[in-house]
Structure 1
Amino acid sequence: MTPLDLPFITDEMLNGLRPWIETESPTFDAAAVNRMMDLVQHEMAAMGARVERIPGTMGLGDSVRATMPHPRAGQGGILLLGHMDTVHPVGTLAKLPFRREGALCYGPGIMDMKGGNYVYLDALRKLQDAGIETPLPVTVLFTPDEEIGTPSTRALIESEAKRHKYILVPEPANLDGSAVIGRYAIARFNLRALGKPSHAGWALADGRSAIAEMAKKVAQIEGMTTDDCTFSVGVFNAGQWVNCVSSVCDAEVLTMAKTQELLDEGVRKMMALRSDSEDITIEVRRGVTRPVWDPDQPGTMAMLSLAQDIAGEIGFEMTGKSAGGGSDGNFTGFLGLPTLDSIGVRGRDLHTLNEHIFVDSLVERARLAAGLYCRLEA
């Protein structure tokens, strides 16, 4: 039996994936993320892996690193890199339950990126069951904080990745099924407007609204967007009492740029928004950053060529391109390590209450995973 002939069964894979989706794991709920890590840790231990639990920092969840069984286990080889946190808060299952409807399967985090993580782990399980040994040893690293820019595990990811020859990141595939071989740069910013409080009915003119000032900045910030450098205000928090002129307003901004030079210019524009007057102050603090991962690196292109050959044997076409939407592949690609990203399941509407995958992509991507594990060589 060849790796591409392994007995992947759709219903069996959906049954295995269901507990992952029903174990909700939003980034900021460390206990929930750790329940997900408990689940995957148990599964990998059952596969005979040497599993390490790495305690979380910054109030975030733990990471799990597993050294899969192999004669050279622990040596550098292939790193399967994925995150187990999602953007969906606990309770989302009430609105977005795990369910299959014909060719689609729904659930929080099923596309980004539990579906891909499950498929690539299941491929290892099926190879093991068939007695097929991969040429290179495989290490799995699942982390808890990718959805907020990986502030607590970037150093862990980079340190682990440097030990390996190849990095596989099963983030969801692009809509056309293509893989990612480069990513744009991303920076996050925290803004705070400080105004002057007053009673909104009795002394409105005495106050200076932080909400009103921040609203002006939102229009200004999003107006700076171009095709090559975008600005988006994704969080806006202020106010406690409607009869009070707000004195504090907080916002968070995401900037994405196709080149490092464009990102640097975007950062300068954002930092220039800082101001301080007698009545209103605007504070701007730079948050986490994902560096540009330049495409067309030789090692990555060789991995893409191999994936294209495997895809052709399976019966689908795979292209590769640079893309927006940061991932932990930014870090490994930036380091120049051969990295193939967005090779996970296909689907639509990630980060929404309609998040779903195309069911036929489960077996398709499992066969791709098995092929990659068995053809990536020293």
Structure 2
Amino acid sequence: MDVNTLPLCSDTMLEGLRPWIECESPTYDPVSVSRMVGIACDRLRALGARVEHIPGPPGLGDCARAVFPHPRPEAPGVLVMAHLDTVHPIGTLEKLPFRRKGDFATGPGLCDMKGGTYAAFEAARALAEVGHETPLPIHVLLTSDEEIGTPGTRALIEAEARKHKYVLVPEPGLMGRSSVVTGRYAIARYHLTAHGVASHAGIRLSKGRSAIREMAARILEIEAMTDEDCTYSVGVVHGGKWVNCVSTVCRGEALSMAKRQDDLDRGVARMLGLNQRDEDGSGFEVALSVVRPVWEPNAGTLDLYERTRRIAATMGVTLEHGSAGGGSDANFTGALGIPTLDGLGLDGELVHTLHEYIEVESLAYRARLMAGLMAELS
């Protein structure tokens, strides 16, 4: 299969992405995420796929699974796994509109990871259009909560992945068009609660103990624990209701990340060791939330990379690979030992910011990479 001859056009693909990007879908807005999943399912049906709607976990958007036409649709195959939730709140389009600027395009979730998901669909479409029957059926799993650590869909992901021989994840590329992801660091999330003692901030300030002050001190302590083996960061803080009251509760969320599982496990122990309550009820609590296990490449994953490297070479690209910080749902499938290749999505940068962008030409390029894998995996 010469992927260079496949009917794939970046300009056409970008225009097809417009309704995807203009349907904002932050994780914490399940109605919007479900609407986005519906748009993607409409596209799958238009391409002839059989689609199954999956009601979302409590408080989260819907999910879906699909399989493209194939003589053996129920056989273990190639699973394209993607999330359609984003970190961008409703209204981000006003500041980060879907817009092309020369060789680049912007929009919330365009790079992470709606564009890569759309490119994977187009890869399957292009193969069907030229009459190429893939050796294995191409399956799709769309989920709704990756950006908050996959608390509701991990079991679904693992169960679905176990049915298949390979997993392809069109998350953004690691270092531009010259790389894919073959491993992910381990990540743990935590819920933090600082407890204070109430008093009137104007009349009896000295009688109270501020939960906000406690949280502020703990943030400095937590982030100072960062070293080469494990990083710590606090990204969410909420505290207080009245400025004239000494705060009694302040809540936060923290994250630790490590290249090795043992280092993350030690990091978790350090975080849980911060738990402390005094007789007056003040103090600090840490509760472990969702955890992504470390994913280290096995022989199957490295074989997927070698195949992709050869496909890229036919397009004049020398493809590298490596492990990446920041989690993805590939952590779960890779940790299960299922051959998994991540970072197959679009080339771009500044994801999770108001400057997120893609390189437009990567739409066709990345679709060709995925089509080449779909065409030869058996």
What's the offset of the Cα at 1:320?
1.0
Q: List structure 1 runs of 4+ shifted beyond 6 angstroms.
A: none
What's the offset of the Cα at 1:355?
0.4
The residue that corresponds to 1:80 in the other structure is 80
The residue that corresponds to 2:154 in the other structure is 154
Q: Aligned Cα RMSD in Å? A: 1.0
SS of equivalent residue, structure 2 residue 257? strand
1:94-116 CA-to-partner distances (Å, cap 9, x unmatched) read: 11000001111000001110111
Write the letter of the residue equivalent to 2:113: M
Whole-angstrom distance in 1 between the partners of 2:71 and 2:3 = 19
Contact 1:3 1:374 in 2 (8 A): no
What's the offset of the Cα at 1:34?
0.4
The residue that corresponds to 1:251 in the other structure is 252
What's the offset of the Cα at 1:301?
0.6
SS of equivalent residue, structure 1 residue 4? helix
The residue that corresponds to 1:192 in the other structure is 193
The residue that corresponds to 1:68 in the other structure is 68
Contact 1:3 1:127 in 2 (8 A): no
What's the offset of the Cα at 1:74?
1.9
The residue that corresponds to 1:272 in the other structure is 273
Whole-angstrom distance in 1 between the partners of 2:332 and 2:46 = 30
The residue that corresponds to 2:101 in the other structure is 101
Contact 1:4 1:371 in 2 (8 A): no
Is 1:91 equivalent to 2:91 in the alignment? yes
Gaps of 5+ in 1: none
Contact 2:11 2:360 in 1 (8 A): no
The residue that corresponds to 2:286 in the other structure is 284
SS of equivalent residue, structure 2 residue 127? helix
What's the offset of the Cα at 1:281?
2.0
SS of equivalent residue, structure 1 residue 139? strand
1:336-356 CA-to-partner distances (Å, cap 9, x unmatched) read: 010000111010100000000
Whole-angstrom distance in 2 between the partners of 1:58 and 1:326 = 22
What's the offset of the Cα at 1:308?
0.2
Is 1:52 equivalent to 2:71 in the alignment? no
The residue that corresponds to 2:368 in the other structure is 367
1:17-65 CA-to-partner distances (Å, cap 9, x unmatched) read: 1111111110011000000011011111111211101111121011110
What's the offset of the Cα at 1:163?
1.1
The residue that corresponds to 1:328 in the other structure is 329
TM-score by length of 1: 0.98
1:283-321 CA-to-partner distances (Å, cap 9, x unmatched) read: 1110000001113x1101110000000000012121111
SS of equivalent residue, structure 1 residue 322? strand
Whole-angstrom distance in 2 between the partners of 1:307 and 1:11 = 24
Contact 1:235 1:252 in 2 (8 A): yes
Whole-angstrom distance in 2 between the partners of 1:298 and 1:311 = 20
SS of equivalent residue, structure 2 residue 314? helix
What's the offset of the Cα at 1:227?
1.9
Gaps of 5+ in 2: none
TM-score by length of 2: 0.98
Contact 2:187 2:292 in 1 (8 A): yes
Contact 2:200 2:245 in 1 (8 A): yes
Aligned length: 376
Whole-angstrom distance in 2 between the partners of 1:57 and 1:251 = 23
Whole-angstrom distance in 2 between the partners of 1:161 and 1:175 = 26
